[in-house]
Amino acid sequence: MKIVSLELFKVAPRWLFLKTTADDGTVGWGEPVIEGRADTVAAAVKELSPYVIGRDPAHIEDLFQVMYRAGFYRGGPVLTSAISGIEQSLWDIRGKSLGLPVYDILGGPVREKIQVYCWIGGDRPDDTAAAAKEKASQGYHAVKMNGTAELDYIDTWAKVEAAVGRVAAIRDALGKDFGIAVDFHGRVHQAMARVLMKELEPYHLMFIEEPVLIENLEAFAELRRHTSTPLATGERNFTRWGFKEILTRGVADIIQPDLCHAGGILEVRKIAAMAETFDVAVAPHCPLGPIAFAASLQLDYGTPNAVIQEQSLGIHYNQGADLLDYLVDRTVFDYKDGSVYRNARPGLGIEINEAKVKEAAAKGHEWKNPVWRTADGVVAEW
């Protein structure tokens, strides 16, 4: 079997899909995208395609090595996101050709289901208690929310109290056992992060995500000494080398590699195995589309230290299309009681509605995240 073509589709709300076709007609799908940089990643996929076309799609490890190492410059979000989408599509082809789900090829399942959480609120969260109660009524046992909008290096107690009040309202409404994760989104500088983490401690959060930017890794170690709440990070780290320092320095309790950015399914499986040796949990980042979610589930079902899975159903970014809209079978993700149950469908376990994808790609999208500024005009983290 040989790969004969790679075809890209930029579709709403902010996704990029890749269709990889083998010479026997077998098709694999991947999701190579950086949110807000879809065209840039598409160009990288096209530049990598000569390494892939004409090769056996079963040679996934070697193709990863060639794509990652054959160029003098390596790594970074653009190249590893392009590699990730291609790699996902190769696993989809491999599974379909063998009649097996990807998790079976990677060593078999370790669980029947994986718990998922829903996003509530937007970039400037409001009325989170009502949103969380709605998700609980739908059967979910956990939610995640942005902790705050933009913050300055030193900011007001009013903003701190507002952030804490939103969390307190959810805890009061849904009790002590409902999971609440708070994403600081790298928007918070370490002084304010320390304040917020102390004030949020009584609400027994599931985890705090990206308390500061990952570039400030030394601050993670300091912040971790100030809280018993688990710290999570990793959505902006790429390949096992990008996670090595996080793990060896012991700065996080949960790592969150994104299978569309970190190198694909097998690379994240290697990252998860590294994390297991440090007694660190894995909760893959996935605010993207159905291919990304399907790939993440394949990882989760075969990874013992995977604890919970992000998914984008109903997320505030999804304007114009949602997680299930490009699938032939919208029930393929078997949601029950706050979890998604595994199935035995081959490859990534989904069938893409190609006609719908092509229709959406004819319109495309130009999604960009907003540019925020503090009150005095300085650019702030989004």
Active site residues: 185, 285
Q: Collect all residues with Cβ–Cβ distance below 8 Å to 118 and sequence separation of at least 6.
A: 135, 138, 140, 142, 143, 144, 311, 313, 314, 315
Query: How many other C-beta atoms lie within 10 A of the C-beta of residue 111?
Result: 16
Q: Which DSSP state fits 372? A: E
- CA 5/CA 53 separation, integer angstroms: 6
Which one, of 140, 146, 159, lies nearest residue 120 by Cα?
Answer: 146
- In Å, how far are 190, 252, 363 from 258, measured between CA atoms? 24, 16, 27
- In Å, how far are 110, 144, 168, 183 from 122, measured between CA atoms? 34, 11, 18, 11
SS (H, E, C) 288-346: CCHHHHHHHHHHHHCCCCECCEECCCCCCCCCCCCCCCCECCCCCCEEECCEEECCCCC
Please give the single-letter amino acid code of residue 245: E
Q: Collect all residues with Cβ–Cβ distance below 8 Å to 83 and sequence separation of at least 6.
A: 32, 48, 64, 67, 68, 263, 264
Q: Which two tokens stand for residue 308?
A: 């919970």
